[in-house]
Amino acid sequence: MSPAAAATPILKASHLLGIEGLSVGEITALLDLGDEYVALGRAKEKKSPLLKGRTVINLFFEASTRTQSSFELAGKRLGADVMNMSVRTSSVSKGETLIDTATTLNAMRPDILIVRHQDSGAAEMLARKLDCCVVNAGDGSHEHPTQALLDALTIRRRRRSFEELTVAICGDVAHSRVARSNIHLLSKMGARVRLVAPRTLLPADAARFGVEIFTDMREGLKGVDIVMMLRLQTERMTGAFIPSMREYFRFWGLDREKLAYAKPGALVMHPGPMNRGVEIDSAVADDIEVSLIHEQVEMGVAIRMAVLDALSRGLAQQGRNTP
Ligand code: CP
């Protein structure tokens, strides 16, 4: 990348809190940058010194495999110092609050804080209080912007034009931040979005998204290009939303029989972690002809490099600690 290209601003805001506030231009620029980082990730020499001198802190109050490790790898590949805060062994276990924990870390002068928290709005609250960049790595059932961006990069590399696509987002939409971020992103980019879920797992305000809604999976999958399955988020459920796991799989689990209703050549996505035999059958999840699940993980590192790069450009523009 030329020095001039590396200085081009990408994001208007200093933080990445959600997809809802991003423009089509910002999303496209992040995806274009993501493509460049896919190429870097596939090269023998995977490192760039772009974030040399910057400090990135991962602060995860909820479990994560993909998001935390890919942000760590993304930061390290860009030459930043990356610190993973272990919340379980931190003073949070002694009762320290989110804001006290975050302001303590902020006093160590990080450039970028990546936060995952069980409460919707947590990342936005920190962005208002701290003077570093804040990235939302998932807040309650609100948004998970880098997941939607990596999903979009995965789709765009396979299908090119969002305008010609119908995407079915299936399963536990009610509790899913992945669903919300993907609804915003895919709709902005011109794709037709369907929500396919039992009534109990649709958000009360589903109609406000302006997407098609199906409460029969076979009907909802008819003719779609992409089937995006969601994890059943039992940790966010406070009642009985489904009769049983076995019943859920029978009616809502993606197997070859239900997938056959989608367009021939339809592709299957899942953000992970998967509940095999609950929302997806292993025969579909592990079929490399249709499943993009491992590709999504690769795109996760690239898109998170793009996000860190974009935020660092914003810091440089403000004259803050230019590396
Ligand atoms: N998709 C996703 O956010 O996965 P993790 O919970 O493993 O980060």
| Whether pLDDT at 208 is above 80 | yes
User: What separation in Å is there between the alpha carbon of 271 and the centre of ligand 1?
Assistant: 7
pLDDT of residue 108: 96
The pLDDT of residue 221 is above 60: yes
Q: Which atom of ligand 1 is nearest to the CA of 138?
A: 3
**Percent of the chain's residues with pLDDT above 90:** 86
Q: Give the integer Cα–Cα distance in Å for 191 and 260.
A: 21
**Confidence at residue 322, expressed as pLDDT on a 0 to 100 scale:** 56
Residue whose CA is at the smallest distance from ligand 1 atom 6: 64
Whole-angstrom distance, CA of residue 276 vs CA of residue 59: 28
Distance 269 CA to ligand 1 centre (A): 13
Around ligand 1, the residues with Cβ closer than 6 Å are: 64-67, 138, 147, 271-273
Angle 111-112-114 from CA coordinates, rounded to 5°: 160
What is the band of 237 on the pLDDT scale with cuts at 50, 70, 90?
Answer: confident
Q: What is the pLDDT of residue 245?
A: 84
Stretch 102-121: mean pLDDT: 96
Residue pair 115/137 in contact (Cβ under 8 Å)? The answer is yes
CA 64 to ligand 1 center in whole angstroms:
5
Q: How far is the CA of 106 from the centre of ligand 1 (A)?
A: 24
How high is the mean pLDDT of the chain?
94
| Residue 239 pLDDT class (50, 70, 90 cuts) | low
Q: Which of ligand 1's atoms lies nearest the C-alpha of 68?
A: 8
User: From CA 306, how far away is CA 156, in angstroms rounded?
Assistant: 16
Supply the residue whose CA is at minimum distance from atom 3 of ligand 1: 67
Instruction: From 59, 65, 178, give the residue whose CB has the most ligand 1 atoms within 8 Å, as the site to mutate.
Output: 65
Query: What's the CA gap between 137 and 215, in Å, rounded?
Result: 29
Q: What pLDDT, on a 0 to 100 scale, did the predictor assign at position 3?
A: 56
pLDDT at 236: 79
CA 273 to ligand 1 center in whole angstroms: 6
Q: What is the pLDDT of residue 296?
A: 98
3-state DSSP assignment of residue 267:
strand
The predicted structure's pLDDT at residue 5: 64
What is the mean pLDDT of the segment spanning 164-185?
Answer: 97
Greater confidence (282 vs 233) lies with: 282
Contact 133, 14 (CB under 8 A): yes
pLDDT average, residue stretch 143-172: 96
The pLDDT, as a whole number, for residue 270 is 98
**Residue closest by Cα to atom 5 of ligand 1:** 64
In this prediction, residue 6 has a pLDDT band, given cuts at 50, 70 and 90, of low
Using alpha carbons only, give the angle 180, 225, 194 rounded to the nearest 5 degrees.
35
Residue 321 pLDDT: 62
Of ligand 1's listed atoms, the one at least distance from the Cα of 116 is 8
Q: Where are the beta strands (DSSP E) in the chain?
A: 55-60, 81-85, 112-117, 133-139, 166-170, 192-196, 212-214, 226-229, 267-269
pLDDT tens figures, 271-288: 999 999 999 999 999 999
Average pLDDT over residues 229-245: 81
Residue 230, pLDDT above cutoff 90: yes
Ligand 1 centre distance from Cα of residue 254 (Å): 20
